[in-house]
Amino acid sequence: MVISKDEIKTLTSARCALPHDLLGMHKCRGGIVVRAYLRDAKTCTLVDLRDEEKARKPMKKLDESGLFEIFIKGARKIFPYRLRTRRYNGEIRQFYDPYSFLPTLSDEDLYLIGAGKDRKIYEKLGSHPRTVGGISGVSFAVWAPTARRVSVVGDFNGWDGRYHQMRALGRSGIWEIFIPGVEPGAKYKYEILAANNDTPFLKIDPYAVRFEAPPYNSSIVCDLAGYEWKDAQWLEARAKTDWSRRPISVYEVHLGSWKRVPEDGFRPLSYVEIGRQLAEYCTEMGFTHVEFMPLSEYPFEGSWGYQVTGFYAPTNRYGTPREFMEMIDTLHQNGIGVIMDWVPAHFPRDSFALAGYDGSCLYEHQDPRLGTNPDWGTLCFNYGRNEVSNFLMGSALAWFDRFHIDGLRVDAVASMLYLNFSRRDWIPNKYGGSENLEAINFIKNTTDTVHEEFRGSLMIAEESTTFRGVTAPTSDGGLGFDLKWNLGWMHDTLDYFKEDPINRKYHHNKMTFPSMYQFTEKFMLVYSHDEVVHGKSPMVGKMGGAYWGDKIANLRALYAYMWMWPGKKTLFMGDEIAQGHEWRYDESLEWSLLQYAEHEGVKNVVRDVANLYKNDDSLAANDFNPIGFEWINADDGNNSVFTFLRFCENGKTAYAVACNFTPIERKSYPIGLPRMGKWEEVINTDAKCYGGGGRGNSGFIVAEKASVNNRKYGAFALLPPMSTIIFKNETPDSV
């Protein structure tokens, strides 16, 4: 026996931080020693691959748990070998020794990860099917710097932490092992022995691409190679696109409740099914993008995906990662972009995931004044730690790289930006301020990196404060986002519309105030899922008015107004059909409502106004240009009428929008216009095809010389009750 009793104990008690120093083949005084630690092995033989038939050497069993050793006296050179075991059930296996392989991570890899600068960290950490020296297997690597020991446990080793103890790679905090013979589909976790606790515990792989369904939540080895993408044309066009000048109408979707299959137990649609159906629906409706509520793996259905445990993995609920790829591929082939909700602001406390990962506060701050989010009962990332920021940035990049997504809608940005967000007890930054400097630096680095690596990508901020420069370039001191959700506009418009029409004149400023700050950021107008849950009522229920017909008419008028107001657009699923009840994450939308003309009419308004916006590129090109918007009359509060102009970039096309948000018909209503001639009535939300009363202007109005609203030209229009009318003119400016 060459190994000491103390060394045997470190292996058999799973207390070894450097198992590769003891196991495998090593030169020693007088020859070579080989050791193997094998589960359920009755005998073990060393097979010299230089002569497999003749050079078989039985190894001595040092411990009943499966520790074997052989000393080859006089041998001087390391040689290739395999291990041949006979199990207690008589089965014979021959395989390569995991402890005969060099690390799969280089010194440069360790440096970049430690510095937080590895843009391909997801190809280094986690589990990866590889071929090393012609031998196939899986490499495992995990960051757990304070752990005393880390093992890979899985269905390939009986979930026993003694048998695949990993090696610590210097001071990097990274543990690594290559296990030959393991194949995609294998389930695994990491068994960790913390610094100050003698009881090992199990954790998932933070970098895993696939997970087992709860309650087991095992990581699953996944091979993403070999999928044949068919979206090259889309990606090539995206790389050349300046989305600030293009139409963006986003359909926000919760995949599990968009549609269900009643004939199959009301199950949700799969990735493949929803890809085909959403592509067809969005094409019809004029939506340019789909935004999925978080599809990163999460354990609790009721979190809607916003409490993530698998930051690199599409949730198993709707299919495999390859099927997730197919969904995105299908949408791209049909001209629909894909945006994912991404949640780098916090993570849940589930014991199997990131919380207290290696027995220490690794991903979270140790001080609860920094490390907890009181609103959601979750933990906050420590952005000042290089490996943590690299983990999150790598997650963002991996969704673009592996899965070809087109954008990330970053959730809860305000909670990242401020140290005192929802906290009574908080710690100021080094300058005494409330800004989270580490989080701000992380955001800037991530937006810049995503834009550098994936041209034409979109980074969208859900940011609810007045933080300056959210959509300004980082070179100008901004955060570098492409778009910011305009939550102020959302709240103001809904506060206005919830009023009974007779009272709206007292709240007229709610609708005009957003124009004061409209061009301070690149805003996206949004009615999201947050507005139709937790007792807030569905969109149609928010509308003021005594009768159902008035509420429906209000909703039609609101959506047409929304699409003509400057900015990009996002609408939550079900809002377009005037869903009758609040959104329920575990049920399908009420598609049966479309049998009623009122509901189909709302859908048709959204379809027509979204297609109008989508098909006129020159209108969207001025979404962020102040010269593209003018009030005609913002001051008619007594009548609750709003009129404004949208100018297209081409200098030829202009739109006049007239909104009458009372149940009173306005006859011969004066509208000042910048041009003489015919203005075509292209959308009238009171049209019969939308379920309205059919009142209007016989298809057009004519602007003549007249002093109206301090303009040289004017027309007199009929404004139906509770309506928005859009007029279009394509003549040059009058002189």
pLDDT digits (tens, 9 = 90+) for 59-78: 999 999 999 999 999 888 99
Same domain, 416 and 488: yes
551 in a structural domain: yes
379 in a structural domain: no
Looking at residue 674, its pLDDT comes to 94
Same domain, 414 and 487: yes
350 in a structural domain: no
Read off the pLDDT of residues 531-558 as tens digits, 9 standing for 90 and up: 999 999 999 999 998 889 999 999 999 9
Same domain, 431 and 532: yes
Burial category of 122 from C-beta neighbours within 10 Å (exposed 0-12, middle 13-18, buried 19 and up)? buried
Looking at residue 673, its pLDDT comes to 96
Same domain, 524 and 498: yes
Same domain, 213 and 300: no
228 in a structural domain: no
Active site residue 499: no
Domain of 329 in residue numbering reads as 253-343+386-560+575-607
Enumerate helices (H) and strands (E) in the chain, giving the number of each.
Answer: 15, 38
570 in a structural domain: no
φ/ψ of 599, rounded to 5, equals -75, -40
What is the rounded radius of gyration, in angstroms, for the C-alpha atoms of the chain? 31
Cα–Cα dist 153/164, whole Å? 7
pTM (2 d.p.): 0.95
Beta-carbon neighbour count of residue 98 at 10 Å? 27
Same domain, 437 and 582: yes
We report the CATH number of the domain holding residue 50 as 2.60.40.10
Same domain, 134 and 212: yes
| Six-digit token string for 700 | 């057009």
Amino acid identity of 326? Answer: E
Same domain, 172 and 23: no
Q: Which residues of the chain have pLDDT under 50?
A: 734-735
225 in a structural domain: no
Beta-carbon neighbour count of residue 263 at 10 Å? 6
247 in a structural domain: no
| Six-digit token string for 515 | 């124009």
Cα–Cα dist 244/460, whole Å? 12
Beta-carbon neighbour count of residue 565 at 10 Å? 22
Domain total of the chain? 4
Specify the pairing of strand 289-292 against strand 249-253.
parallel
- Which of 43, 72, 96 delimits the end of a domain? 96
Looking at residue 253, its pLDDT comes to 98
We report the CATH number of the domain holding residue 546 as 3.20.20.80
Which among 462, 499, 531, 576 is annotated as catalytic? 462
- Which of 67, 96, 125 delimits the end of a domain? 96
Residue 432 gets the label, from left (phi > 0), alpha (psi -120 to 50) or beta, of left
614 in a structural domain: no
Same domain, 633 and 724: yes
Amino acid identity of 706? Answer: A
Which among 109, 411, 438, 636 is annotated as catalytic? 411
**DSSP line for 41-88:** EEEEEEEETTSTTT-EEEPEEEETTTEEEEEEET--S---EEEEEEET
| Six-digit token string for 665 | 């018909």
Contact of 285 with 326, CB cutoff 8 Å: no
Same domain, 298 and 433: yes
From 558, 555, 559, select the one nearest 599 (Cα to Cα). 555
Helix (H) or strand (E) holding 445: helix 437-453
Looking at residue 54, its pLDDT comes to 72
Amino acid identity of 423? Answer: R
Cα–Cα dist 373/332, whole Å? 37
Looking at residue 735, its pLDDT comes to 40
Active site residue 252: no
- Which of 172, 203, 220 delimits the end of a domain? 220
Q: What percent of the chain has pLDDT over 90?
A: 95
Same domain, 80 and 123: no
| Six-digit token string for 184 | 């995609």
Same domain, 116 and 87: no
We report the CATH number of the domain holding residue 647 as 2.60.40.1180
Specify the pairing of strand 174-180 against strand 135-143.
antiparallel
End-to-end CA distance of the chain: 103
Cα–Cα dist 50/599, whole Å? 77
Cα–Cα dist 200/147, whole Å? 10
Residue 215, preceding peptide bond in cis (omega within 30° of 0):
yes
